[in-house]
Amino acid sequence: MAKAVLMQGNHACAEGAIAAGARFFAGYPITPSTEVAELLAKRLPQVGGTFIQMEDEIAGIAAVIGGSLAGTKSLTATSGPGFSLKQELIGYASIAEVPCVIVNVQRTGPSTGQPTSPAQGDIMQARWGSHGDRGVIAISPASVPECFTLTIEAFNLAEKYRTPVILLLDEIIGHMREKFVMPDINGLNIKNRKKPTLPPGKFQPFKPDEDGVPPMPAYGEGYRFHTTGLVHDYTGFPTGSNAVTHEMIDRLHTKITGNIDDIVKYEEVELNDAEIAVIAFGGTARSAYAAIDAARTQGVKAGLFRPITIWPAPEKQLLQLAEKVKVIIVAEMNYGQYVNEVRQIVRSNTKVVSLAKWNNEPITPSEMLEAINAAR
């Protein structure tokens, strides 16, 4: 039987990466994400992997893209300012369809902001930080065990859909320590990228299969192909064609939106008879659990909807929620980013209230309970 240990969220993320099959990390240390890099510097060589501390954040994501193109599951880890620096190359990985995982342990911003203070201010940067149009997958764990399982999920989604996946922790979850039991590694669901079935002479590296995702050989496997950040045709070479541009940008979206039921994950707590729903994710969800319990004790029919998948937004589930409850409270550690996305989705179907906090402190259960009672 596996032994229970007290583990930090950042360390669970690092162990999840190794369990997912990641064997390459490149990055630059930045609080509050540094423990991901620290542990991988020790653990990767133990499993035949490679750790490189790069000269800066941009070099870190560039090396990760190279590692993935060479056929190795690869990741980097960073926080707000570093996440900003990586954006151009996250866009490059999107258009070149290079699977990789970017761990962003959020802290207060903008700019250097407040290092090692809790915040969830990168919600919109995760969706729109890189220029141009593309589909985005971003997922947010709310516990140490989820840091492990959702890191594996991030790699699975990156490999399945050939896209960078953002793992959005916040300082609370990254630095929190709680009970963790390592699952049986042999029982984990690990996905690997599709390989070509055609020989090199007939293979077109960016021609999608019916699922919208092209197979992906690794450099060195005999398939010579061109990789570029320019709009390209199925061969990988740049083109100015309007038709190709339209088809390619559309596919970067539809390979994700067309599989939204496979990608979107969420948690519902006490929502069957709820009149008031709290939407919270990451560290904020921890306060929500306690606030919902306290509200129920007072006879208030309150429940929690926790989007685990932040992007793409769980639109179908939010519309269903809006049909059931009288008020939705969106609790988040920022100036109010996700609340506008919720309002846009549910429109006038129900009242949406913002509970935003941006002073380096988490939203407490008492503050959330006060908001629930005020919404009655």
Chain centre to alpha carbon of residue 114: 22
Token representation of residue 36: 């991901």
Report how far residue 2's alpha carbon sits from residue 4's, in angstroms, rounded to the nearest whole number. Answer: 7
Task: List, in order, residues 6 or more apart from 371 with CB less than 8 Å away.
Answer: 329, 331, 353, 355
The rounded average pLDDT for each run of 10 residues, N- to C-terminus, in the chain (376 residues) is 90 98 97 97 98 98 98 97 97 98 96 91 97 97 98 98 98 97 92 96 96 96 95 97 98 96 98 98 98 98 98 98 97 98 93 97 98 96
pLDDT value at residue 1: 66
The per-residue pLDDT for 116 is 87
Q: What angle do CA 145, 146, 148 make, to 5 degrees?
A: 70
* Sign of the CA dihedral running 202, 208, 210, 211: positive
The β-bridge relationship of strands 276-279 and 50-53 is unpaired
Residue 120 is encoded by which pair of tokens?
């969830």
The position carrying tokens 């685990």 is: 308
Closest CA to 40 of 59, 64, 58, 62: 64
CA distance 272 to 17: 35
CA–CA separation, 352 vs 221, rounded Å? 53
Please answer whether residues 108 and 358 qualify as being in contact, where contact means their C-beta atoms are separated by less than 8 angstroms. Answer: yes
**pLDDT value at residue 301:** 98
Q: Which residues contact 168 (CB under 8 A, 6 or more apart)?
A: 104, 106, 120, 122, 123, 126, 138, 139, 140, 282, 310
Phi, psi of 265 (to 5 degrees): -130, 150
Q: Residue 31, CB half-sphere, CA atoms under 13 Å: how many?
A: 9
Tokens found for residue 53 = 């501390």
Contact, 301 vs 274, CB < 8 A? yes
